[in-house]
């Protein structure tokens, strides 16, 4: 009987040679950085408390790849964690470092691709390969009710991980669909590029979380 697939890749995961090599180069360049697959950020109450899973694209080079915590160390975390705190999905104060004491409440955060990709652009094979970790990540939360996907790549990989068809469950900002026994919400990614260009405003992002918070209370 084979063991269940792990939801977390090992520190030296070799499955994507390009990403493995990229991280190896950065380990030499910045030995004090995390420089490894970034693990899922869990609430202190554990897996059973998780009702919402947030799926991002991949670690940022000087963000999560440096700090080892999703959305920590670059602008995207300011908007994400600030919004989560407002909606009771996180507590404490976000100071953009993993020892800031911030805690999630009934939520977990992961990435569709766990390793930092060059130019923030994973290729299709890497996204597909890393889904071997996304699937068991979703499965590890027995009380999961909702998933929020940030951006089209995270959305499409999550749909596939849930056994759905991308054509039947397309990405759109503010989307709400049923897939694999959970409610799937979607938003543009909270990157500095999207907010600077007006693709995503803070109001748009807050509105998505307001809908999710209301759903989780229903």
> Tokens 């977990």 correspond to what residue?
108
Q: Which pLDDT score is estimated for 1?
A: 44
What is the average pLDDT across 63-74? 96
What is the average pLDDT across 176-204? 96
Is pTM beyond 0.95? Reply is yes
Q: How far apart are CA 208 and CA 191, in angstroms?
A: 15
What is the average pLDDT across 114-143? 97
What is the average pLDDT across 85-90? 98
Q: How high does pLDDT run on average in the chain?
A: 96
Closest residue by Cα to residue 53 from 136, 145, 132: 145
State what percent of residues in the chain have pLDDT above 90. 96
β 90-91/175-179 pair status: unpaired
What is the average pLDDT across 167-183? 97
Give 136-157 pLDDT, tens digit per residue: 999 999 999 999 999 999 999 9
pLDDT at 2 over 70: no
pLDDT at 4 over 90: no
What domains can you pick out in the chain, each with its CATH number?
17-217 (3.40.470.10)
Query: Sign of the CA dihedral 45, 47, 49, 52?
Result: positive
Q: How confident is the model at residue 74 (pLDDT cuts 50, 70, 90)?
A: confident
Query: Sign of the CA dihedral 197, 203, 207, 208?
Result: positive
Give 13-65 pLDDT, tens digit per residue: 999 999 999 999 999 999 999 999 999 999 999 999 999 999 999 999 999 99
Q: How far apart are CA 1 and CA 13, in angstroms?
A: 23
pLDDT at 133 over 70: yes
Q: Which pLDDT score is estimated for 75?
A: 86
Q: Which pLDDT score is estimated for 99?
A: 95
Per the CB < 8 A criterion, the answer to whether 23 and 113 are in contact is no
SS3 call for 192: helix
What is the average pLDDT across 132-137? 98
* Alpha carbon distances (Å) from 100 to 66, 69, 118, 160: 15, 11, 28, 34
Q: Which pLDDT score is estimated for 134?
A: 98
Residues β-bridged to residue 85:
none
Q: How confident is the model at residue 91 (pLDDT cuts 50, 70, 90)?
A: very high
CB atoms within 10 A of CB 18: 14
Q: Which pLDDT score is estimated for 3?
A: 57
């Amino acid at each position: 009987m084979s063991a269940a697939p792990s939801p977390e890749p090992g520190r030296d995961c070799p499955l994507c040679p390009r990403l493995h090599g990229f991280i190896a180069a950065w380990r030499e360049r910045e030995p004090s950085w995390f420089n490894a697959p970034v693990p899922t950020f869990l609430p202190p109450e554990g897996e059973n408390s998780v009702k919402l899973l947030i799926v991002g694209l991949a670690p940022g080079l000087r963000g999560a790849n440096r700090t080892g915590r999703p959305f920590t160390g670059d602008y995207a975390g300011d908007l994400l964690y600030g919004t989560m705190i407002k909606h009771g999905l996180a507590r404490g104060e976000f100071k953009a470092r993993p020892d800031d004491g911030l805690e999630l409440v009934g939520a977990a955060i992961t990435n569709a691709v766990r390793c930092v990709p060059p130019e923030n652009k994973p290729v299709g094979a890497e996204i597909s390969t890393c889904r071997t970790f996304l699937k068991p990540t979703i499965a590890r939360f027995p009380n999961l009710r909702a998933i929020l996907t940030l951006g089209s790549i995270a959305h499409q990989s999550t749909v596939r991980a849930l056994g759905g068809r991308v054509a039947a469950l397309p990405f759109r900002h503010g989307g709400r669909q049923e897939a694999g026994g959970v409610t799937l919400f979607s938003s543009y990614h909270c990157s500095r590029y999207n907010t600077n260009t007006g693709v995503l405003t803070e109001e748009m992002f807050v509105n998505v979380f307001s809908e999710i918070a209301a759903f989780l209370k229903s």
